Structure 1
Amino acid sequence: MRPLVLVGFVGAALPSLAQLQPPGSVIFVEEPDVVRKRQVRDKIAGSPLVRELIEWEFHLAGKADEFYNAHRGLEPAAIVPLVEYATPFAARLAERYGLPGSGYGAAQILRDKALLRQVAGAAGIANPESATAHGPDDVLAFMTRHPGPVVLKPANRQAAVGTQVLHHPAEVERAWAECTEQDEGIFVPDRPMELRMLVERCVEGPEFSVEMLVQDGGALFANVTGKRLFPGPRPVELAHVVPADIPSGLAARLVGETGRVIRAAGFRDGIVHCEWIVEDGVPFLVECAGRFAGDGIIELIQRAYPVELNRAYFAVMRGEAPTVPLPARAEGGAAVWFLSIEAGVVDRVQGVEEAAGAPGVFACDVSVAAGDTFGGLRSSWDRVGDVMVTAGDPAEALRLAEAAAALIRIDTVSPARMAVAAQ
Structure 2
Amino acid sequence: MPLLEYATPFAARLAERYGLPGAGYGAAQVLRDKAQLRRVTRAAGIANPPWRHVGSPDEVRAFMDAFPGPVVLKPANRQASLGTQVLHFRDQVDHAWAECVQQDEGFLVPDRAFPLRMLVEGYLRGPEFSVELLVREGRTLFANVTEKALFPGARPIELGHTVPAEIPDELAARLRARTEAVVAAVGFGSGVVHCEWIVVDGEPHLVECAGRFPGDGIAELIERAYPITLAAHYYAVMRGEEPPPLPARAERAAAVRFFAAPPGRVTALDGVDEAAEVPGVVRVSASYEVGGTVREMRSSWDRAGSVMTLADTPGDAVKAAERALELIRLEVEPR
- Taking structure 1 as the reference length, what is the TM-score of the superposition? 0.78
Structure 1 CA distance, aligned partners of 2:22 and 2:5? 14
| CA deviation map 1:48-82 (0-9, x unaligned) | xxxxxxxxxxxxxxxxxxxxxxxxxxxxxxxx001
2:45 aligned with 1:124: yes
1:336 to 2:256 alignment:
yes
Aligned to 1:370: 290
1:295 aligns with 2:295: no
Of 254-263 and 304-313, deviating more is 304-313
Q: Considering only aligned residues, what root-mean-square deviation do their CA atoms show, in Å?
A: 0.9
Q: Which one of the candidate residues 375, 385, 397 is aligned to 2:305?
A: 385
By relative contact order (CA 8 Å, sep 6+), the higher-ranking structure is 2
For residue 331 of structure 2, the aligned residue among 400, 403, 411 is 411
Q: Which residue matches 1:91? A: 12
Deviation per residue, 1:254-291 (Å, 9 max, x gap): 00000000000000100000000001111000000000
Give the conservation status (yes or no) of the 8 Å contact 2:280–2:309: yes
Q: Could you tell me how far apart the structure 1 residues matched to 2:112 and 2:248 are?
A: 44
Opposite residue 259 of structure 2, the aligned amino acid is L
User: Of 94, 114, 117, which aligns to 2:35?
Assistant: 114
Tell me the distance in 2 between the aligned counterparts of 1:263 and 1:193. 27
Match of 1:352 in 2: 272
Report SS of the residue matched to 2:258.
strand
Deviation at 1:191, TM superposition (A): 5.0
Structure 1, residues 140-172: CA drift from partner, whole Å, max 9, x if none? 000000000000000000000010000111111
Matched, 1:238 2:154: no
- Give 2:103's aligned residue: 182
Structure 2: distance between partners of 1:389 and 1:304: 10
Query: SS of the counterpart of 2:296?
Result: coil
- Which SS does the other structure have where 1:387 is aligned? strand
Alpha-carbon separation, structure 1, partners of 2:49 and 2:264: 36
Distance 1:189 1:265, change over 3 A: closer
1-side partners of 2:234 and 2:46: how far apart?
26
How big is each residue's C-alpha offset from its partner over 1:19-48, in whole Å with a ceiling of 9 and x where there is no partner? xxxxxxxxxxxxxxxxxxxxxxxxxxxxxx
- Residue 84 of structure 2 corresponds to which residue in structure 1? 163
Distance in structure 2 (CA, Å) of the matches to 1:202 and 1:111: 21
Kindly provide the CA deviation profile for residues 206-257 of structure 1, in whole angstroms up to 9, marking residues without a partner as x: 0000000000101010000001000100000001000001111000000000
Per-residue CA deviations over 1:113-147 (Å, capped at 9, x if unaligned) read: 00000000000000000001101000000000000
| 1:224 and 2:145 are equivalent in the alignment | yes
2:228 to 287, 307, 311: 307
Aligned residues: 335
Within 2, Cα distance between the matches of 1:169 and 1:374?
A: 30
1:134 matches 2:46: no
Gaps of 5+ in 1: 1-79, 416-423
Letter paired with 1:395? G
Looking at CA atoms only, which structure, 1 or 2, has the larger radius of gyration? 1
2:315 maps to 395
Instruction: Give CA deviations for 1:371-413 in whole Å, capped at 9, x if unaligned.
Output: 1111211000101211100000111111111111221110001
TM-score by length of 2: 0.99
Following superposition, the deviation at residue 344 of structure 1 comes to 1.1
Q: Structure 1 residue 150 and structure 2 residue 71: aligned?
A: yes
3-state secondary structure, aligned to 2:241: coil
Identify the residue that residue 30 of structure 1 maps to in structure 2: none
Return the alpha-carbon distance in structure 2 between the equivalents of residues 410 and 194 of structure 1.
Answer: 38
**Does residue 247 of the first structure (1) align with residue 206 of the second (2)?**
no
How many percent identity over aligned positions?
A: 62
Aligned to 1:241, what secondary structure does the other structure show?
strand
What is the CA–CA distance in structure 2 between the aligned matches of 1:294 and 1:174, rounded to whole Å? 29
Distance 1:147 1:112 in 2: 25
Which residue, out of 241, 256, 259, partners 2:177? 256
